[in-house]
Amino acid sequence: MFKIGDKVVYPMHGAGIIEAIEEKEVLGETRQYYILRLPVGDMKVMIPISNCEDVGLRQVIDNDGVQRVFHILREQSTSMSDNWNRRYRANLEKIKSGNIYEVAEVVRNLVKRDKEKGLSSGERKMLENARQILISELVLATELGEDKTKSMLEGVFA
């Protein structure tokens, strides 16, 4: 169980800080919820405490994790299917996993593919989504702020 002030990652949405734990009635059922503030995009999310394991809520990575993310971003891209649909589904599964290292792989692979061959509009949207998820966790893990984190990320691909 998490507590107020914990930095956590909500897969497919990004990282945030638990601001409160509240009991709310939704659809006639009273449950306890984490109230999560996502700094990137300034969004608030309610997550039922009983569903945390199912949705993959987890702690934000530590400094070693940050180093590993940047190592992954600098590596060669992994081979991807030439079939757009297969590639899209494989990347979507990685993003849905909530695993920051897999999200970093998606960002790296799509950025490199964009430079080589360009991206379809669907993959471009996926890249932006994966980049936002990655940035949101790195912002909380490094405490450098969104602009500095974005600059660091862009510096890897420059």
> Which tens digit of pLDDT belongs to each residue from 23-48?
999 889 999 999 999 877 778 999 99
> Coil, strand or helix: which one is 32?
strand
pLDDT at 41: 73
Establish if 19 belongs to a structural domain.
yes
CA–CA gap between residue 8 and residue 149 (Å, rounded): 18
Calculated CA dihedral for residues 144, 150, 151, 155, nearest 10 degrees = 120
Note whether 45 and 113 are same-domain residues.
Answer: no
Note whether 81 and 49 are same-domain residues.
Answer: no
Give alpha helix (H) positions in the chain: 52-55, 63-74, 84-97, 100-116, 121-142, 146-157
Kind and range of the H or E run holding 48: strand 43-48
> Domain range holding 24?
7-59
What is this structure's pTM? Answer: 0.89
CATH of the domain at 30: 2.40.10.170
Compute how many other C-beta atoms are within 10 angstroms of the C-beta atom of residue 24. 12
Note whether 79 and 19 are same-domain residues.
Answer: no
Written as six digits, the tokens of 139 are 């912002």
Note whether 67 and 124 are same-domain residues.
Answer: yes
pLDDT at 43: 87
Note whether 83 and 132 are same-domain residues.
Answer: yes
pLDDT at 7: 96
User: Average pLDDT, whole number, for the chain?
Assistant: 92
> Which tens digit of pLDDT belongs to each residue from 70-118?
999 999 888 877 888 899 999 999 999 999 999 999 999 999 999 988 8
Strands 7-10 and 14-26: what pairing?
antiparallel
Note whether 55 and 67 are same-domain residues.
Answer: no
Res. 63 pLDDT band, cuts 50 70 90: very high
What type of residue sits at position 16?
G
Res. 59 pLDDT band, cuts 50 70 90: very high
CA–CA gap between residue 53 and residue 40 (Å, rounded): 23
Res. 152 pLDDT band, cuts 50 70 90: very high
pLDDT at 12: 85
Compute how many other C-beta atoms are within 10 angstroms of the C-beta atom of residue 95. 20
Establish if 2 belongs to a structural domain.
no
Establish if 1 belongs to a structural domain.
no
pLDDT at 99: 95
Note whether 48 and 108 are same-domain residues.
Answer: no
pLDDT at 57: 94
pLDDT at 32: 95
